Amino acid sequence: MTDVASFLGKPIDDICGNGFDAHNLNHCAHFVSHVLHLAFGMTCKELTNGSQAAANVRVQEIFPECPEVGNWPPPAGSGPVLIFVTKAANVDLANKTMRNVPKKHIGIFENGQVFNYSNTQEKVVSQTVPAFKTAFNAAYGGPQGYFWGTFPSTGALEAMVAARKSRRDGKAKKSKAKKTKARKTKATAVKKMAKKAR
């Protein structure tokens, strides 16, 4: 999975290569699926006969694909998860199903932030969970149900971990290079001083 924070501020036009980017459509599931590489069910590629990477476009199709689901908040230490919002009555946790209703939304929760596609702002945004809840309780006309789900099995979590490791390794290499350069510079200076002292 590409670092989700790198999508901040991007409109769907910059995310989907299949042309499924009309701004009057709901792209919350579409965005999440491109980030996590969720290509099952109804996809943008199928809808446009596109040639680029496919991404699911339906919240209710992603929910049952999550290995684990539950009422928000997720268990401590569960790591990045999906966050879903809709009326509590629309969700059956025991059977892991969600009704297909207009008022539903999905985002990715990581490091205390909910990364989601704002259909009103027409771009990817991030919010704290309290801000996310306040926004959707207001938008959907009252208190909503909030649910978590672990990432569907596509290797997305592994890719996310790999991306983080790559960033850490890159920083470590830069730090090591700086230290090596500093040691060489110091060694050169010491040699020069030694020559002058002879």
- How does pLDDT run across 5-53, given as a tens digit for each residue? 999 999 999 999 999 999 999 999 999 999 999 999 999 999 999 999 9
Residue 189 pLDDT grade (very low, low, confident, very high; cuts 50, 70, 90): low
Mean pLDDT of 177-189: 63
Q: Is residue 178 part of a domain?
A: no
Number of residues in the chain: 198
Question: 54-57 contacts: CB < 8 A, separation 24 or more?
Answer: 54/18, 55/16, 55/30, 56/29, 56/30, 57/20, 57/27, 57/29, 57/30, 57/33
- Digit-coded pLDDT (tens) for 84-140: 999 999 999 999 999 999 999 999 999 999 999 999 999 999 999 999 999 999 999
Residue 163's alpha-carbon distances to 66, 120, 159, in angstroms, are 22, 30, 6
Residue 192 placed within a domain: no
Look at the chain and report how many structural domains it folds into: 1
Quick check: is 172 in a domain?
no
Flag whether 140 is in a domain: yes
Q: Is residue 182 part of a domain?
A: no
Question: Which residues, 6+ apart, have CB-to-CB distance to 145 below 8 Å?
Answer: 71, 85, 86, 87, 88, 89, 90, 91
The reply to whether 115 falls in a domain is: yes
Range(s) of the domain holding residue 11: 4-154
Residue 143: inside a domain, yes or no?
yes
pTM for the model: 0.78
Tell whether 169 is covered by a domain: no
pLDDT for position 176:
64
- Per-residue pLDDT, averaged over 58-86, amounts to 96
